[in-house]
Amino acid sequence: MALSDVRVVSLKLPEEVYKEMVLRIPEGDRSNFIREAIMEKLQKTPKADKLLELEERMSKIEQSVGEVRKYLADLELLTYQHGRINPHTFCIDETDHQIVDYLLHYKGATTPELAEYTKTNRWLVLNRLRKIQRSSKKQFGKSIIEYYAGEKSGKKKAWWINEELIQE
């Protein structure tokens, strides 16, 4: 173990344990003795293998659920305009549906415009837009909505529906 790898630890010992250590271990060797005692005890303590096993199982389950969600989304794709994505698939409540409806109708909108339309604050709208963007990208590899900071169709810093994914 290199010296740069060490950490300083302070510990409290019962008086009788300290006196016993002072009697048995010379002053310059006590730090090494304590370090070796801790290392020895750690070697005897089983690692959290069960925890690692559970983490691996959870990861596999999450992956399987993701695949099932993708298959379910594929099934819904088959029922929506010959392989095009139904943007309402990614909505979790009425606010999301309002946002998607507005974007479908106007093709794009700024966050303040959507906040005014949904009668909520723009931070809620922004979080919902990002959530829709993430979930659609996760399921299909492409987002159904995109943010564009430049000017497009007379709007700056606006969210746009990805028309190639939703039109025939």
Q: List, run by run, the mean pLDDT of 10-residue segments along the chain (168 residues).
A: 73 92 92 90 78 85 77 57 71 90 90 93 93 86 86 88 70
Can you tell me the distance from the alpha carbon of 106 to that of 100, in angstroms, rounded to the nearest whole number? 10
Q: Which helix (H) or strand (E) holds 145?
A: strand 145-152
Q: Which long-range contacts (CB under 8 A, 24 or more apart) does 28-33 make?
A: none
pLDDT of residue 91: 86
pLDDT number for residue 55: 84
DSSP tag of 46: P
Q: Which pLDDT value is given to residue 45?
A: 77
Global confidence as pTM: 0.50
pLDDT at 136: 84
Helix, coil or strand: residue 10: coil
